[in-house]
């Protein structure tokens, strides 16, 4: 075979130019089975966790199987210990204690497990024109027009006055009914089609159809609503007033599926941010005894600003960390100032169908690996923690040494929009923090798409950060 002689320009180009390659041109053949197996496990995690509560339950199940124990204040903590603490059923913190003392800092992978959805209002059930509906209040940044005429499942809990909690999950089980929000037929949409996408489906029209059959042998009012209440009472033992202390949420009734003839992509509800949450968790569960202590934080409420007692702003994280530090008589502030956090959250993948919203040179590409974001935010980097150059250099070194396929990512064109992550709240704690995560197509849609290669590389990257 004749080998083409490289010109002087070829050699200089190789040496000087930044020319990222498609991840499939860099993936080692022996990594393929690991990538496939990882993605199968991730799909199972998605199907098991449609809400933050269900994700926490699943994380506890997986962690327990991997030898993790609940961590309580005052417990002795030794290298190799695998510990977790659940925050109110909605967030979870896990740690694998390292060989080095906590005064040398910890390596944190922080992601969120809440996703955009339709929450039920506290007085949701009503009847109109002999159809029964639930009123909803959407959670997170949804594009409302995407949530009509798709099958929905209902998940959540009803908390009773006696202190008991009744779990609800309808739609995911075999033979379960599903629910839906209806939309106008095109034949009568003359006026609706003239409205903007943002106005065409008002929030107060996102009402979920839950039934149509009237209560039998009755001539009173609201017979369909009564029949639904009767069914709910038989199944769950609840009455209408119990909705007041319920958290019920409608989520898309899609199972995680391979997308494409080549099965290179995964379509599912909730990739944002369970795709990074699962990477942080799975990488932690796979650790032996790392040099530094590794911590995985799966937070709630990111989609509504990280507020609340289960969000990243909550002191629950600091309490967990300070309880760990107390066991080694290390001041929390010393641990924090020497720690590193990878704020693992999804980024926008370049979408050629909407090229006008992206700046191609700086956008994350599908199959180009884990996307590092020096900054997020909007307009003039507003709302971003903007990691230092030194921190990005550190990540480049750790990821390159571990053979991770990664890329730089900026979310769309400047002034086109923007977004934030939990990074700012970690940085506020005096923890060096860098954003990174999986590029997503159709982010926040009921059915989001990611690449298997990017999922696997984010797992591999997270493991490298824990193990550095
Ligand atoms: Mn996110
Ligand atoms: Mn989001």
Tally of residues, the chain = 468
Is 312 part of any domain? yes
- How far is the centre of ligand 2, averaged over its atoms, from the C-alpha of 115 (Å)? 7
Q: What is the whole-number distance in angstroms between the Cα of residue 354 and the centre of ligand 2? A: 19
List the structure tokens of 209. Answer: 């159809």
Q: Is residue 5 part of a domain?
A: no
Whether residue 105 contacts residue 337, with contact meaning beta carbons closer than 8 Å, is answered with yes
- Is 351 within a domain? yes
Given a contact cutoff of 8 angstroms between Cβ atoms, the answer to whether 113 and 205 are in contact is: no
Residues 60 and 199 in one domain: no
Evaluate whether residue 7 is within a structural domain: no
**351 Cα–ligand 1 center, Å:** 18
The answer on 101 and 228 residing in a single domain is no
Residue 447 CA, ligand 2 centroid: distance in Å: 13
pLDDT over 70 (residue 2): no
Shared-domain flag, residues 83 and 214: no
pLDDT tier at 4 (50, 70, 90 boundaries)? Answer: confident
Residue 406 Cα to ligand 1 midpoint, Å, equals 18
Cα distances (angstroms) measured from residue 275 to each of 42, 272, 300, 463: 8, 6, 14, 14
Distance 298 CA to ligand 2 centre (A): 14
Phi, psi of 40 (to 5 degrees): -65, -45
Q: What does the alpha-carbon distance between residue 434 and residue 390 come to, in Å, rounded to a whole number?
A: 11
Residue 90 resides in a domain: yes
Say what the pLDDT of residue 218 is: 81
As a whole number of angstroms, the distance between CA 323 and CA 262 comes to 48
Lowest mean pLDDT: which of 98-107, 116-125, 352-361, 411-420? Answer: 411-420
Task: Give the Å distance between the CA of 455 and the centre of ligand 1.
Answer: 14
- Residue-wise pLDDT for 15-41, tens only, equals 999 999 999 999 999 999 999 999 999
Enumerate residues with CB within 5 Å of ligand 1 (an ion). 272-273, 345
Per-residue pLDDT at 103 exceeds 60? yes
Q: Is residue 4 included in any domain, yes or no? A: no
8 belongs to a structural domain: no
Q: Is residue 298 located within the same domain as residue 240? A: no
Please check whether residue 455 is in contact with residue 330, taking contact to mean a CB–CB distance below 8 angstroms.
no
**How far is the centre of ligand 1, averaged over its atoms, from the C-alpha of 438 (Å)?**
10
Per-residue H/E/C for the chain: CCCCCCCHHHHHHHHHCCCCCCHHHCCCHHHHHHHHHHHHHHHHHHHHCCCHHHHHHHHHHHHHHCCCEECCCCCCCCCCCEEEEEECCCEEEEEECCCCCHHHCEEEEEEECCCCEEEEEEEEEEEECCEEEEEEEEECCCCHHHHCCCCEEEEEEEECCCCCEEEEEECCCCCCCCEEECCCCHHHCCCHHHCCHHHHCCHHHCCEEEECCCCCCCCCCCHHHHHHHHHHHHHHCCCHHHHHHEEEEEEECCCCEEECCCCCEEEECCHHHHHHHHHHHHHHHCCCCCCCEEEEEEECCHHHCCCCCCCCCCCHHHHHHHHHHHHCCCCHHHHHHCCEEEEECCEEECCHHHHHHCCHHHCECCCCCEEEECCCEECCCECCCCCCHHHHHHHHHHHHHCCCCEEECCCCCCCCCEECCCHHHHHCCCCEEEEEECEEECCCCCCEEEEHHHHHHHHHHHHHHHHC
Domain that holds residue 110: 21-115+269-467
Summarised one tens digit per residue, pLDDT across range 287-329 is: 999 999 999 999 999 999 999 999 999 999 999 999 999 999 9
- Asked if 37 and 132 sit in the same domain, the reply is no
pTM of the model: 0.97
Q: Are residues 136 and 92 in the same domain?
A: no
* Residues 234, 282 within the same domain: no
Residue pair 408/372 in contact (Cβ under 8 Å)? The answer is yes
Distance 405 CA to ligand 2 centre (A): 23
**Over 70: is that where the pLDDT of 1 sits?**
no
Q: Which ligand is nearest to the CA of 139?
A: 2
Q: Please tell me the distance between residue 302's alpha carbon and the centre of ligand 1 in angstroms.
A: 7
Give residue 415 CA to ligand 2 midpoint distance, Å: 18
Answer with the one of 225, 252, 279 that is the final residue of a domain.
252
Q: Which residues surround ligand 2, an ion (CB under 5 A)?
A: 272
* Ligand 1 center to 299 CA (angstroms): 10
Which structure tokens are listed for 138? 């959407």
Mean pLDDT of 92-111: 98
Domain count of the chain? 2
The pLDDT of residue 219 is above 90: no
Q: Looking at the domain assignment, is residue 1 inside a domain? A: no
Nearest ligand atom owner, CA of 422: 1
| pLDDT score of 47 | 97
Compute the distance from residue 56 Cα to the ligand 1 centre, in Å.
Answer: 17
Instruction: Let me know whether 393 and 305 are in one domain.
Output: yes
Question: 189 pLDDT exceeds 80?
Answer: yes
Q: What's 458's domain CATH number?
A: 3.40.630.10
Quote the mean pLDDT of the chain: 97
Residues 317 and 396 placed together within one structural domain of the fold: yes
Taking the CA of 437 as reference, the closest ligand is: 1
Q: Is 48 exposed, middle or buried (0-12, 13-18, 19+ CB in 10 A)?
A: middle
- The answer to whether residues 96 and 130 belong to one domain is no
Residue pLDDT, tens place only, 423-457: 999 999 999 999 999 999 999 999 999 999 999 99
Domain boundary among 187, 221, 252: 252
Q: Residue 156 is part of a domain; what is its CATH number? A: 2.30.250.10
**In this structure, are 62 and 145 located in the same domain?**
no
Give me the mean pLDDT over the 249-265 stretch.
97
Looking up tokens 């030898």, which residue turns up? 67
Same domain, 50 and 161: no
Do the beta carbons of residue 271 and residue 314 sit within 8 Å?
Answer: no
């Amino acid at each position: 075979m004749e080998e083409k002689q490289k010109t002087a320009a070829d050699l200089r180009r190789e040496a000087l130019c930044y020319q990222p390659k498609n991840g499939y041109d860099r993936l080692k053949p022996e990594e393929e089975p690991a990538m496939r197996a990882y993605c199968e496990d991730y799909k199972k995690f998605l199907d098991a966790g449609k809400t933050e509560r269900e994700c926490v339950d699943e994380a506890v199940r997986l962690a327990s199987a991997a030898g993790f124990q609940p961590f309580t204040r005052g417990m002795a903590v030794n290298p190799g210990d695998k510990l977790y603490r659940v925050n109110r059923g909605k967030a979870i913190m896990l740690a694998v204690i390292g060989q080095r003392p906590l005064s040398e800092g910890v390596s944190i992978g922080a992601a969120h497990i809440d996703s955009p959805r339709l929450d039920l209002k506290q007085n949701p059930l009503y009847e109109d024109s002999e159809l029964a509906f639930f009123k909803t209040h959407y959670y997170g940044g949804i594009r409302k027009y995407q949530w009509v005429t798709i099958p929905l499942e209902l998940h959540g809990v009803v908390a009773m006055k006696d202190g008991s909690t009744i779990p609800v999950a309808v739609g995911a089980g075999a033979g379960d009914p599903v629910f839906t929000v209806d939309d106008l037929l095109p034949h009568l949409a003359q006026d609706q089609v003239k409205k903007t996408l943002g106005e065409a489906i008002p929030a107060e029209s996102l009402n979920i159809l839950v039934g149509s059959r009237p209560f039998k042998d009755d001539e009173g009012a609201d017979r369909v609503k009564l029949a639904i209440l009767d069914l709910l009472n038989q199944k769950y033992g609840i009455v209408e007033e119990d909705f007041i202390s319920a958290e019920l949420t409608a989520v898309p009734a899609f199972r995680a599926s391979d997308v494409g003839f080549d099965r290179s992509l995964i379509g599912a509800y909730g990739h944002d941010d369970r795709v990074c949450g699962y990477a942080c968790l799975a990488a932690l569960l796979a650790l032996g005894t790392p040099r530094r202590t590794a911590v995985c934080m799966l937070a709630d409420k990111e989609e509504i600003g990280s507020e609340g007692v289960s969000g990243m702003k909550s002191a629950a994280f600091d309490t967990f960390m300070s309880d760990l530090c107390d066991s080694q008589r290390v001041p929390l502030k010393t641990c924090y100032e020497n720690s590193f956090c990878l704020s693992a959250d999804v980024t926008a993948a370049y979408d050629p169908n909407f090229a006008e919203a992206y700046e191609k040179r700086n956008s994350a590409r599908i199959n180009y690996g884990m996307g590092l974001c020096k900054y997020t935010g909007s307009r003039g980097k507003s709302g971003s923690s903007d990691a230092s150059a030194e921190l990005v250099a550190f990540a480049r070194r750790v990821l390159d040494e571990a053979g991770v396929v990664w890329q730089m990512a900026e979310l769309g064109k400047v002034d086109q929009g923007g977004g934030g992550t939990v990074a700012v709240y970690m940085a506020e704690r005096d923890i060096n923090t860098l954003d990174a995560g999986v590029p997503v197509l159709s982010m926040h849609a009921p059915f989001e798409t990611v690449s298997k290669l990017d999922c696997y590389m984010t797992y591999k990257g997270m493991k490298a950060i824990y193990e550095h």
